[in-house]
Chains A and B, each alone.
Chain A
Amino acid sequence: EAGVAQSPRYKIIEKRQSVAFWCNPISGHATLYWYQQILGQGPKLLIQFQNNGVVDDSQLPKDRFSAERLKGVDSTLKIQPAKLEDSAVYLCASRPLSGTEAFFGQGTRLTVV
Chain B
Amino acid sequence: DAKTTQPNSMESNEEEPVHLPCNHSTISGTDYIHWYRQLPSQGPEYVIHGLTSNVNNRMASLAIAEDRKSSTLILHRATLRDAAVYYCILRDPLAGGYQKVTFGTGTKLQVIP
CB atoms of A106 and B97 under 8 A apart: no
Q: How many residues on the B side are at the interface (Cβ–Cβ under 8 A)?
A: 24
Binary contact readout B72-113 vs A (1 if CB under 8 angstroms, 0 otherwise): 000000000000010100010100011111111110000000
Given the complex of chains A and B, what is the CA–CA distance between A80 and B43 in angstroms?
A: 24
Q: How many residues on the A side are at the interface (Cβ–Cβ under 8 A)?
A: 26
Chain B interface, DSSP helix/strand/loop, else mixed: loop
CB atoms of A56 and B43 under 8 A apart: no
A48, A98, A105: which contacts B100 (Cβ < 8 A)? Answer: A48
B32, B43, B93, B97: which contacts A104 (Cβ < 8 A)? Answer: B43
A42, A100, A104: which contacts B45 (Cβ < 8 A)? Answer: A104
CB atoms of B101 and A93 under 8 A apart: yes
* Residue B49 interfacial (CB < 8 Å): yes
Q: Which residue of B is nearest A102, CB measured?
A: B101
20 CB contacts below 8 A, A to B, read A4-B43, A33-B101, A42-B85, A42-B87, A43-B103, A45-B100, A45-B102, A50-B97, A50-B98, A56-B98, A56-B100, A91-B44, A93-B44, A93-B101, A97-B97, A98-B97, A100-B34, A104-B43, A104-B45, A106-B41
